[in-house]
């Protein structure tokens, strides 16, 4: 377990972070649609990640056993989804949850609904 989670700060439940990450996923999907290449891998990755995030929100696993929950999820889902994609996205979800525990700016961004110009269909200034 990361050192930042051992200090006096309250641990944020995975479901809370994942609920906010679902909102942030819209921005990632918006940015991906603007790319001039085959979007199939992105679409699969986003679908797998969204399914994991929604499962976390629905099941609300305990923070102390979240990593084990994700491992069990990946093992039990390999028949319906590509196993490599599940493991990769589960690892990303775990890392983002850990980041929300120790990085105040990231947590604040999530708490504000993960605002992004890409989610609104607006490109950042450097892409216009």
State pLDDT tens for residues 107-128: 777 777 666 665 555 544 444 3
Residue 23 within a domain: yes
Q: Which of these, 43, 107, 51, 102, lies nearest to 74 by C-alpha position?
A: 51
Residue 121 within a domain: no
Domain range holding 68?
13-116
- Which two tokens mark 14? 């995975």
Average pLDDT over residues 32-45: 66
- Which two tokens mark 68? 């084990």
Least confident range from 41-55, 92-106, 110-124: namely: 110-124
CB atoms < 10 A from the CB of 123, how many? 13
The helix/strand/coil state of 50 is helix
Judge whether 85 and 126 are in contact, CB under 8 Å: no
Residue 42 within a domain: yes
pTM: 0.72
Sign of CA dihedral 57, 93, 17, 6: positive
Residue 8 within a domain: no
Structural domains counted in the chain? 1
């Amino acid at each position: 377990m990361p050192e930042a989670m051992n200090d006096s700060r309250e641990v944020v439940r995975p479901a809370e972070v994942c609920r906010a990450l679902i909102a942030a996923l819209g921005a990632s999907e918006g940015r991906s649609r603007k790319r001039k290449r085959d979007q199939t891998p992105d679409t699969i990755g986003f679908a797998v990640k969204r399914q994991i995030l929604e499962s976390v929100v629905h099941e609300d696993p305990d923070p102390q056993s979240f990593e084990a929950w994700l491992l069990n999820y990946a093992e039990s889902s390999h028949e319906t989804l590509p196993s490599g994609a599940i493991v990769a996205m589960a690892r990303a979800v775990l890392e983002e949850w850990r980041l929300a525990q120790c990085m105040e700016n990231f947590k604040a961004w999530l708490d504000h609904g993960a605002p992004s110009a890409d989610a609104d269909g607006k490109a950042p200034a450097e892409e216009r």
